Amino acid sequence: MKHYLIFVAVGVSMLASSCSKFLEESTQSELIPRSAETLNEYLLGDAYPNTFAINPLEMYMNDDIGMIAYVTTTSTHAVYTWQPNMVETGLGAATNQSSWKSIYAAIQACNTTLDYLPKVTGTEAFKSYVGGQAQLLRAFYYFNLVNIYGLPYNDKLSDPKTNLGVPLLLSGGVETTLKPRNTVADIYTQIEKDLQEGTALIDQSKQVHSKYRFGSAAAHLLASRVYLYMEKWDEVIKHTDPLLNGPYQLMDLRNWGEVKPLDKPVISAGNPETIWAFGLRGDVIMQDTSAYRMPLELRNSYSQGDLRHGVYWANGVTKKLHIGDFGLKSAQAFRLSEAYLNRAEALAQLYKQGNADAGQKCVNLINSLREKRFQTDKYTPWKLEQISNDILQYIRDERRRELYSEGGRWFDLRRYGMPRIQHTFFTSTAQNENYILQERDPSYVQPIPLRVIDLNPKIIQNPLSPIRQPKN
């Protein structure tokens, strides 16, 4: 494996590597691909999120975690208590590059692929398949970046057309000028464009691919998520249509049998719900489960007979994948259940706007999901007349229970209006402190790593919260 340094003028240096058998060396600093197959392998090695965590700080920042015991290490303190220096100290210092440097390196691999694709050999169908993957992955990465480092698109007190997002890079070449941050609206416009064009290319290619590749079904799920964040409810419904009518099936926990995460994990390519399997444990697994667990408030929200208690988690720790398994198995997945939840939330919003039919459609849809999560003799379907006043909250609470420990809760809290959160931190075996993340707190937007700003002065830092003091 040979490594070549590529400088990208967004404030970071990125390392791009590729196997020499796939790439020809023309100079010491330039790699020339031979074929579309070469680029396809290059994407798998350099553009897919299989070697880096996308948002490794999220699991300690959201409300799906609670500290239950004292530990001598304090590496999680700054992140868990939302300090302004969270990305420069403790856990953040070890992982902050993943959310900027590594993601931009993957974007660079997507851009390089798209730049070279017209010049390589291969059928047009296969080139479409490769190009489609590159655009869809780029959309996925920009969606994550803009929700880590920018205000929510649907923020009611600001404008995405003026809010700062992240630098938008669409070329694989070396940038000769420093790039400032584009707006949140700019990034979402590019995400929509990449999703539309990438999906069309994948469909046009008619290539059969595994669940480890980003295909058009995964693109529709990502699009439904994007439009949920943009509050374009009809688009959410449009993009969930092919998923609910496609080959994927909801897993039936009533027939799950013995819970054996190593042999039969929920998050796996073998799950009939899985659309795309990817990712590392760094995004979803707590480092110290002796000290951090699911909070009691969330545990108690699972009704009696809910089989997710046992299959998804036990004793406050996820069982969707085995925390002792440090192999190369996927730690995250796009699952069909999210399509149900995205669509149900869109229908609930339409119902609130006066579409009476949308209410019953929402309840019918969510019941079809819930039925497969409960013991038969304990399942009680929801009825519209019983939940109509709080239908949106019911759907969001169900989303939290279903997607627990899969990443994304932090992004959901942001689009819900950035509510107040409290975390308790143990300073000894007998003493603890309470820290408050206030509603719309600046820490709902992560600070940009200082190294990035040092390298590119055109990048403006996000507003930082004051040093957060305990409140007892």
List of domains in the chain:
247-407 (1.25.40.390)
Contact 152, 132 (CB under 8 A): no
Cα gap 206→125, rounded to integer Å: 7
* Confidence at residue 51, expressed as pLDDT on a 0 to 100 scale: 83
DSSP string, 218-252: HHHHHHHHHHHHHT-HHHHHHHHHHHHTSS-----
Question: Which pairing describes strands 313-314 and 317-318: parallel, antiparallel, or unpaired?
Answer: antiparallel
The phi, psi pair for 116, rounded to 5°, reads: -85, -20
What's the pTM value of the predicted model, to 2 decimals? 0.93
* Confidence at residue 97, expressed as pLDDT on a 0 to 100 scale: 57
The phi, psi pair for 448, rounded to 5°, reads: -80, 135
Q: Which residues of the chain have pLDDT under 50?
A: 1-29
Among 137, 140, 156, 157, CA closest to 148: 140
SS3 208: coil
Contact 448, 100 (CB under 8 A): yes
Q: Which amino acid is at 49?
A: P
* Confidence at residue 324, expressed as pLDDT on a 0 to 100 scale: 57
Which residues have C-beta within 8 Å of that of residue 124, sequence separation ≥ 6? none
DSSP string, 394-449: HHHHHHHHHHTTSS-HHHHHHHTT---EEEEEESSSS-EEEEEE-TT-GGGSPPPP
Contact 238, 226 (CB under 8 A): no
* Confidence at residue 259, expressed as pLDDT on a 0 to 100 scale: 85
Cα gap 185→163, rounded to integer Å: 8
Among 5, 109, 10, CA closest to 52: 109
Contact 414, 147 (CB under 8 A): yes
* Confidence at residue 23, expressed as pLDDT on a 0 to 100 scale: 34
Place of tokens 């994927």: 248
* Confidence at residue 327, expressed as pLDDT on a 0 to 100 scale: 52
Q: Partners of 171 in the beta sheet?
A: none
Contact 5, 15 (CB under 8 A): yes
Digit-coded pLDDT (tens) for 284-297: 766 667 899 999 99
* Confidence at residue 284, expressed as pLDDT on a 0 to 100 scale: 74
Contact 271, 329 (CB under 8 A): no
Cα gap 224→246, rounded to integer Å: 15
Cα gap 89→397, rounded to integer Å: 33
Radius of gyration over every alpha carbon of the chain, rounded to an integer in angstroms: 22
Digit-coded pLDDT (tens) for 238-287: 999 999 999 999 999 999 988 887 788 899 899 999 999 998 776 776 66
Contact 202, 160 (CB under 8 A): no
- DSSP run (H or E) holding 6: strand 2-8
